[in-house]
C-alpha cells in the first residue's frame, strides 16, 4: 500500500474520505472546510499532503502544516477505520515525520482524541505526550445578559479589518504554547473559509483601543453544524480586567442569533483562568485531546 505525494487528481477522493468521517447532516460543511484547508497559504499540498492508496483507492492522508517562525510542524492524519493502528498507517506517519524533518523545523506535533488508539501508535513512533486540551460544550436555554463596562463596545469584522485582526490575534497569543504568529495573507484567507462569517468575528474596544476579539466558526457535529469559539484572546494591557467574559459572550450571542444553540470550544487544560471562565459560563467538559511531540533530527 503506497504512500504518495498529493496531486490534484487525488482531491475528489480525499474530500470524500474526509466527509465520510462526518455524519450526513454535516458532510457538505466537512467537504467545504477540507477544500479550504488544502488551499490555505503556506500549505503547498503537493509537498505537504501525503496520500495512502490501496488498489487505486484513497485510504488515508497526512497533512504537514509548516510553522517555520516557531520551528515546528503540525501533522494531521486520517485513515479508513479498518486501517487504524496498521503498519500502513505507521508508514504514513513516518513519511509525514520525514517531510517535517526536511522542512528544517525542531519538532513535530500531533493532536489526537484521548479515547482513540492513535496515541499508542504515536508513542511507538517516538512521540511523547506533552499537553492535554479539554473539549467543552455549552447547551443551555439562554445566556444571561451582560452589560459592557463604561466606554467599551463590540463590533463585527468589517472590510479592511485584516491588519487589525492580525495584530490583535498576534498580540493576544504570541508566546502562548503552540501559537505561530499569523500573516495578513493567512488571516485574510481564513476570514473567507466556508465555516466562517465576518459577522462571527467580534472585536472588543475600549473606546478606540482594541482590547480583545472572539473568532467564531461552524464545525460538523452529529446533528448538523455546531457553533464553535475558534479563537478568543485579550491583548496584554487588558488581561486580568474581566473583559474576556464580555468578548466571549459577544461571540456566543452571535452563534445563538444564527440558530446554533450548541457551542463548543477547546482549551488548554493548563490554562486555569480560561477553564474557570468557561466553566462559570456554563460550559461542560465532554472529552480530552492529547498533544504529542517528537523532537526532530538535527535540532
Residues 124 and 42 in one domain: yes
Average pLDDT over residues 161-187: 96
pLDDT of residue 299: 53
219: helix, strand or coil: strand
Segment holding 267, helix H or strand E: strand 263-268
Q: pLDDT tens for residues 205-243?
A: 999 999 999 999 999 888 889 999 999 999 999 999 999
Residues 47 and 129 in one domain: yes
Is the per-residue pLDDT at 25 higher than 80?
A: no
Other beta carbons within 10 angstroms of residue 147's beta carbon come to 7
d(C-alpha 221, C-alpha 143), whole Å: 21
Whether 40 contacts 74, CB under 8 Å: no
pLDDT of residue 23: 80
Residues 113 and 173 in one domain: no
Residues 109 and 74 in one domain: yes
Residues 124 and 10 in one domain: yes
Classify the phi-psi angles of 156: left when phi > 0, otherwise alpha if psi is within -120 to 50, otherwise beta. Answer: beta
pLDDT of residue 20: 87
Closest Cα partner for 122 from 42, 57, 62?
62
Whether 63 contacts 262, CB under 8 Å: no
Residues 35 and 69 in one domain: yes
Per-residue pLDDT band for 298 (boundaries 50, 70, 90) equals low
- Residue ranges of alpha helices (H) inside the chain are 11-20, 27-38, 45-48, 87-102, 118-124, 162-173, 184-191, 244-257, 272-281
Is the per-residue pLDDT at 121 higher than 70?
A: yes
Domain of residue 26, residue span: 3-133+290-295
Q: What is the 3-class SS of 55-92, one letter each residue?
A: CCEEEEEEEEEEEHHHCEEEEEEEECHHHCCCHHHHHH
Q: Give the position of cell 444564527.
A: 258
Residues 71 and 122 in one domain: yes
Q: Total structural domains in the chain? A: 2
What's the DSSP call for residue 250? H
Residues 203 and 124 in one domain: no
Residues 186 and 275 in one domain: yes
Q: How far does Cα 145 stand from its chain's mean position?
A: 29
pLDDT of residue 115: 82
Residues 127 and 13 in one domain: yes
Whether 269 contacts 252, CB under 8 Å: no
Q: pLDDT tens for residues 44-95?
A: 999 999 999 988 889 999 999 999 999 999 999 999 888 888 899 999 999 9
The set of residues, in sequence order, having a beta carbon less than 8 Å from that of 192 and lying 6+ positions away, is none
Average confidence score pLDDT of the chain: 94
CATH code for the domain in which residue 206 is found: 3.40.630.30
Residues 202 and 83 in one domain: no
Residues 73 and 159 in one domain: no
pTM here? 0.93
Grid cell for residue 141 = 436555554
Amino acid at each position: 500500500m503506497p504512500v504518495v505525494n498529493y496531486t490534484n487528481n487525488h482531491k475528489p477522493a480525499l474530500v470524500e474520505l474526509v466527509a465520510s468521517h462526518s455524519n450526513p447532516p454535516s458532510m457538505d460543511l466537512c467537504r467545504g472546510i477540507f477544500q479550504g484547508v488544502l488551499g490555505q497559504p503556506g500549505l503547498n499540498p503537493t509537498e505537504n499532503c501525503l496520500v495512502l492508496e490501496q488498489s487505486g483507492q484513497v485510504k488515508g492522508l497526512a497533512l504537514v502544516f509548516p510553522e517555520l517562525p516557531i520551528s515546528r510542524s503540525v501533522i494531521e492524519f486520517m485513515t479508513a477505520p479498518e486501517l487504524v493502528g496498521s503498519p500502513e498507517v505507521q508508514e504514513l506517519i513516518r513519511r509525514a515525520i520525514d517531510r517535517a524533518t526536511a522542512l528544517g523545523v525542531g519538532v513535530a506535533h500531533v493532536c489526537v482524541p484521548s479515547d482513540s488508539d492513535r496515541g499508542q501508535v504515536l508513542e511507538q513512533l517516538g512521540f511523547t505526550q506533552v499537553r492535554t486540551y479539554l473539549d467543552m460544550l455549552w447547551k443551555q436555554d439562554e445566556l444571561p445578559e451582560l452589560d459592557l463596562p463604561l466606554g467599551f463596545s463590540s463590533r463585527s469584522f468589517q472590510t479592511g479589518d485584516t491588519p487589525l485582526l492580525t495584530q490583535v490575534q498576534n498580540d493576544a497569543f504570541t508566546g502562548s504554547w503552540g501559537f505561530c504568529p499569523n500573516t495578513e495573507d493567512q488571516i485574510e484567507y481564513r476570514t473567507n473559509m466556508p465555516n466562517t462569517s465576518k459577522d462571527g468575528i467580534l472585536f472588543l474596544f475600549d473606546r478606540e483601543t482594541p482590547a480583545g476579539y472572539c473568532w467564531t466558526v461552524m464545525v460538523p457535529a452529529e446533528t448538523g453544524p455546531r457553533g464553535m469559539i475558534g479563537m478568543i484572546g485579550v491583548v496584554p494591557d487588558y488581561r486580568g480586567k474581566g473583559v474576556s467574559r464580555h468578548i466571549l459572550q459577544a461571540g456566543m450571542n452571535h452563534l445563538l442569533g444564527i440558530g446554533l444553540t450548541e457551542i463548543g470550544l477547546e482549551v488548554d487544560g493548563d490554562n486555569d483562568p480560561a477553564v474557570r471562565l468557561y466553566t462559570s459560563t456554563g460550559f461542560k467538559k465532554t472529552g480530552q485531546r492529547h498533544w504529542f511531540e517528537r523532537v526532530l533530527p538535527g535540532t
